[in-house]
Amino acid sequence: MAGHSKWKQIKHYKAATDAKRGAHFTKLIREITMAAKLGGGDPAGNPRLRTAIDTAKAASMPKENIERAVKKGTGELEGVEYQDVVYEGYGPGGVAMMIFTVTDNPTRTVADIRHKLSHGGGNLGAANSVSFMFDRMGQILIDASAYDEETMMEKSIEAGAEDFVREDEQYVVTTAPNSLHDVQAALEAGGVTITEAEIAHIPKTTVQVSGNAASSLLKLLEALEDLDDVQRVVANFDMDADEMATA
């Protein structure tokens, strides 16, 4: 089983500016609204909404903002009509990318994405052109400095995890998508503090990038995620530690 997103790992090294933190809140609100629209406003019966709310709470989003976003999704409050759209394509070095968006105007969104890709050395692909290269799985991240590795592995397996690895300073616990919250709840009941939990798209294989291709790819990924409509980007690349350090 491959590890978690290398792009996410790189972003952990980057300090968020106030402006980007505000943009992050906007994206979280969109995700909560979309999740409530599709699955209802009760997190207990809506795994996507529960994940979105947990992520928002971890980002210190005020409770009233979360509640307002839920109500906009369920129609209790008037709001913008959003929809999920996933775009697929390739970046520098032949890296496959899936671009997840929540948008009120797909025509605008695809134009913005195509512009960023064409200027960043990539290209937009057809639907399902790269999605087969990724597995949809639950992932739980845990601070490795807080727990013994052998003990944490045992706890994870007992909780129902499918895989457990250490990557740098964190443990990555992998689950079936519909088991994510059960495994998370079991670990938390056992006294484990979760850093992050989400449904992730994990690359089945990775493409090694370096030099100019690595630099161009990271600039493109950041440019795509800076777009208001883009929630997240996943890509099947790997790179050496020295490339990451200069990212």
pLDDT in tens, 78-100: 988 999 999 999 999 999 999 99
Query: 173: how many CB neighbours lie within 10 A of its CB?
Result: 29
What amino acid occupies position 120?
Answer: G
Phi, psi for 14 (deg, rounded to 5): -90, 130
- The ranges of the chain annotated as CATH 3.30.70.980 are 83-132+205-245, 134-203
CATH architecture entry for 134-203: 2-Layer Sandwich (3.30)
Please tell me the predicted confidence (pLDDT) of residue 189. Answer: 94
Please tell me the predicted confidence (pLDDT) of residue 1. Answer: 44
SS3 for 78-145 is CCCCCEEEEEEEEEHHHEEEEEEEEECCHHHHHHHHHHHHHHCCCEECCCCCCHHHEEEEEEEEEEHH
Q: Which of 70, 189, 12 is nearest to 181 (CA)?
A: 189
Q: Which of 156, 148, 191, 192 is nearest to 175 (CA)?
A: 156
Say yes or no to pLDDT of 7 above 70.
no
CATH code of the domain made up of 16-74: 1.10.10.200
Tokens linked to 22: 């505000």
CATH code of the domain made up of 83-132+205-245: 3.30.70.980
Mean of the pLDDT values across residues 164-190? 92
- The ranges of the chain annotated as CATH 1.10.10.200 are 16-74
Distance, CA of 134 to CA of 234 (rounded, Å):
9
